[in-house]
Structure formats: C-alpha cells, structure tokens
C-alpha cells in the first residue's frame, strides 16, 4: 500500500503538471492579467485567502486518525462528524446575513479566531471539548465560503471599479491554486505527523500560525465593507418558490443533494478503509487532491473549442464514475477479503469525478437559478444534502464494524443510482435548452468556479 500510494501520487502529479503546462502555453494573455493595479489588488486578496485555505486543507488528512489515536470508537467518531455537518448546515443558513451585518473583513478575522480555537480543541482528549471544536469548525467553514468571496466581489466592483468581467479570472485562478494548496497540505501533514514523528495532532497545531497570519494580514491590508441586509425568511421563501416552480431547479437540487451527501460519507470512510493497511494518510490525501485537479483540467479540455462537450454531459459522466467506484468498493471492503489497492483506485476515481462534477454543476447552477434567488435556493439544497450525510453516518454508527463499511458503500451505491435517474430526468428536460450550453469559445476556455 505504501509503494502504491507514492507511485499513484507521482503519476497523478505528473499528469496534472503536463496538462497545466500545455494549457498555459496555449493561453492568451488578457488585459486583466497585465493591469498593475488589478494584480496588486488580487495579491492582497490571495495572500489572506490562500493562507486560510492552506490551514483548512492541512487539517483534513489526519482528522479521523486523531480521533482514533484518542481511542474513540468508530461510532463515537461518526457522532463527531455528524456534529460538524450539523453545525455547517445551521451556520451556513445564516452565514450570508451574519457576514453582511458584521462586515466582511471582520468576518474573515472572526474565521481566523474561531478556526484557531477549533484547532486548539484538538489538543484535548475530552469528548465534549472535541464536540465543541466540531461546532466551531462548522462556523469557520461557513465563514470561509461566504465572507472571503463577498469581500472580494464588493471591493472589486464598488471600491476599485474594475470590470465585473474580470471577477471569474480571479476565482478561476483561486480554484486552481486551491487544488495545489490541497496537494501540498497533504504532503506537509504527512511530514509533520509521520516523517517528524510528531503524531496526528501536529497538522492542527501547524495550522494555527497560518490562521493567525491570515487574520493579521486582513486587519492590516483590507478595508471593511458591508452588504445589504436581507430578511432571512424572505430569502428562504423566495428560494423555495423558485425551487418548486422550476423543474430544472428541483432536479438540479436533487442531484446535488444525492451526489454531495455521498461525498461527505466518503470523506468519513476513506481513512478507516485504508489506514489499517499502512497507508500514508497525507500522501493518500494529496493523491486524492491531485486526482481532483486532474478532473478539473479534463473539464477545461472537454469544454474547450476542440472537444466542446457540455457540462450536462460531464455531470452525467461524473455520476456514472462514482456509481462504478462505489460498486467496486462494495466488493473491495468485503470482510475477510479486503483489497486496499482496489479501494484506493476506487477512491481516486471518485475524486476524479468530483473534479468533473463541481465546475459542471457550478455552470448549471448559474444558468438555471436566477441570481436574485441563488442564496435562498442554495440554502434549500444544503438541508437535504447534510441531512442525508448525517443519516448515513448515524446508520454506520449503529452497524457492526466488520460489515458496516461495506453496507454503507452499498447504500451509497443505491443513492448514486437515484442521482443517475435524476440526471436522466434533467437531461430529458434541458436537452433542447441552448442556455445550458457552453458557447463556442473565442478565447480562454471556461474556468470552473471556486
């Protein structure tokens, strides 16, 4: 398993580098890329945002291993994950309103503080303290994916008066470097936890200086801005009306809830499946992120002028890949007949599918959901998504360890088959809808959203 993990990491990294280098050579230089004021503004944003992302990714490879190191049972660990998911959905529902009221800069600083506290709780072996840490992690995640982007868009348009057409360039570049940071974070976590022998808590301690630096740079370099106050009930009511009145939105939400709930369960299960076989968790995680980056690169190639595939096709392909991978996992995790290499390959295929799925789904959401209703609709998407993930983890909590993992993959397979049926339904509804097609590119291929 050790040799397989390192070999897969090297091959995936080489593939990603090859695709990205070829894309960079073919990419034309745009006016935004050569504007000094815009580049300085981008750098001020990236310095803070990339530090925050790096600190977030650094904690991912060893979270389950840390709880296991503290001698918690799998069922107890599942409850910790459920607490984190529940916290994410609850704070996610009000995050936009909180950020608009408190101020985007203050919210980013608050993220640094709450996530630092979350990391500090990992030093304790007390179960209640760890539950509090998971709740703080949920709040931090909600702030990370709302405050930073809102701050940037307001400053870009309102304060600096740059063209709105340049905004996708910033987030496309951020999406690429987000993947790169995730790959590097996995290697760094492996280095501090295993190569230096500091144990599974070390990555969480290492994340704290990054968070402190991100907060300090935001305080020093960023201006404050606020959003318009929006009534939360009115936002949700408008989102529900949009969801029920447009069959495309309903089917899109169904696909997202089913697909992403399975991904949440995968995030929980990969460590107990591979760790007993001596897998280097940080390198495994970096391989996952490299596979996801490879999927994103393949998305850009597939939707380019040469191939001109549509996001709807790629969503279908992503769901099919995950269905196939989950069927593989139901056999490779069979008690007494475990095949860790086969499981690892299946996990890599799931991450590759995620690299195809997320930019495709982002494109479809922007086209199908009216901009004024996106916040409300996405709130309704999140509720079933996290509810399904929590129910899955609770089912695993009540099952026998020897068969529970395999049974969970079987349940996930059934869920993804339902997602596939929803994809077929959406494809039937939109097959003649020109709005959902990527226009013939005249310049740079469409880049995925963050």
DSSP string, 355-415: HHHHHHHHHHHHHHS-GGGHHHHHHHHHHHHHHHHHHHHHHHHTS-HHHHHHHHHHHHHHH
Contact 418, 291 (CB under 8 A): no
Residues 144/54, Cβ–Cβ less than 8 Å: no
Q: For residue 369, is it within any domain?
A: yes
- Per-residue pLDDT, 443: 41
User: Do residue 329 and residue 180 come from a single domain?
Assistant: no
Give the whole-number percent of the chain exceeding pLDDT 70.
Answer: 88
Q: How far, CA to CA in Å, does 396 sit from each of 63, 79, 158, 389, 428?
A: 18, 10, 49, 11, 35
109 found inside a domain = yes
- Considering the chain, what is the average pLDDT of its residues? 86
Q: Judge if 80 and 115 occupy the same domain.
A: yes
Does 206 share its domain with 239? no
Same domain, 373 and 235: yes
What is the length of the chain?
450
**Which domain, by its residues, includes 148?**
40-226
For residues 258 and 219, membership in a common domain is answered with: no
| Whole-number pLDDT of residue 450 | 32
Residue pLDDT, tens place only, 222-258: 999 887 766 666 666 777 777 777 788 888 888 988 9
Please, are residues 444 and 301 in contact by the beta-carbon 8 Å criterion? Answer: no
Q: Are residues 192 and 54 in the same domain?
A: yes
* Same-domain pairing of 243 and 360: yes
Highest mean pLDDT among 124-133, 233-242, 260-269, 300-309 belongs to 124-133
**Is 445's pLDDT higher than 50?**
no
Higher confidence at residue 289 or residue 442?
Answer: 289
Question: What global pTM score does this model have?
Answer: 0.89
| pLDDT category of residue 442 using cuts at 50, 70 and 90 | very low
Please indicate, yes or no, whether residues 216 and 241 belong to a single structural domain of this protein.
Answer: no
Residues 286 and 211 in one domain: no
Segment 306-326 mean pLDDT: 91
For 246: left if phi > 0, alpha if psi spans -120 to 50, otherwise beta; the answer is beta
CATH of the domain at 331: 1.20.1250.20
**Rounded Cα distance, 450 and 438, in Å:** 18
Whether the Cβ atoms of residue 228 and residue 103 lie closer than 8 Å to each other: no
């Amino acid at each position: 398993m050790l040799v397989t993990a390192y070999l897969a990491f090297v091959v995936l990294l080489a593939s990603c580098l090859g695709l990205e280098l070829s894309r960079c050579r073919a990419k034309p230089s745009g006016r935004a890329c050569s504007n000094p004021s815009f580049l300085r503004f981008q750098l001020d944003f990236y310095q803070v945002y990339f530090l925050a992302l790096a600190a977030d990714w650094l904690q991912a490879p060893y979270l389950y291993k840390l709880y296991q190191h503290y001698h918690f049972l799998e069922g107890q660990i599942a409850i910790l994950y459920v607490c984190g998911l529940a916290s994410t959905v609850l704070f996610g529902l009000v995050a936009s309103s909180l950020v608009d009221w408190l101020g985007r800069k203050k919210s980013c600083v608050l993220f640094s503080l709450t996530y630092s506290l979350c990391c500090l709780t990992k030093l304790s072996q007390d179960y209640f303290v760890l539950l509090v840490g998971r709740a703080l992690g949920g709040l931090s995640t909600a702030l990370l994916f709302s405050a930073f982007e809102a701050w940037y868009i307001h400053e870009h348009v309102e304060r600096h008066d740059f063209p709105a057409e340049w905004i996708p360039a910033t987030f496309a570049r951020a999406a690429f470097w987000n993947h790169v940071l995730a790959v590097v974070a996995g290697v760094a976590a492996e280095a501090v936890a295993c190569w230096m022998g500091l144990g599974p808590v070390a990555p969480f301690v290492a994340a704290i200086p990054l968070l402190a630096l991100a907060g300090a740079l935001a305080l020093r370099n960023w201006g404050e801005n606020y959003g318009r106050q929006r009534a939360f009930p009115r936002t949700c009511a408008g989102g529900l009306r949009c969801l029920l009145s447009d069959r495309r939105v309903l089917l899109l939400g169904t696909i997202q809830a089913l697909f992403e709930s399975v991904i949440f369960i995968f995030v929980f299960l990969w460590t107990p499946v591979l760790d007993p076989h001596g897998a280097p968790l940080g390198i495994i995680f970096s391989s996952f992120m490299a596979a996801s980056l490879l999927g994103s690169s393949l998305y850009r190639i597939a939707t380019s002028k040469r191939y001109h595939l549509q996001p709807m096709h790629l969503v279908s392909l992503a769901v099919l890949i995950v269905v196939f991978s989950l069927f593989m996992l139901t056999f490779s995790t069979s008690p007494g007949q475990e095949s860790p290499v086969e499981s690892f390959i299946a996990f890599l295929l799931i991450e590759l599918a995620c690299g195809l799925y997320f930019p495709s789904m982002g494109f479809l959401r922007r086209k199908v959901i009216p901009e004024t209703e996106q916040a409300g609709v996405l709130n309704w998407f999140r509720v079933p998504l996290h509810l399904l993930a929590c129910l899955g983890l609770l089912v695993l909590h009540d099952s026998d360890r020897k068969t529970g993992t395999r049974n969970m993959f079987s349940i996930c397979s059934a869920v993804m088959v339902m997602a596939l049926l929803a994809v077929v339904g959406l494809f039937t509804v939109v097959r003649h809808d020109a709005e959902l097609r990527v226009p013939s590119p005249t310049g740079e291929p469409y880049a995925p959203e963050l």
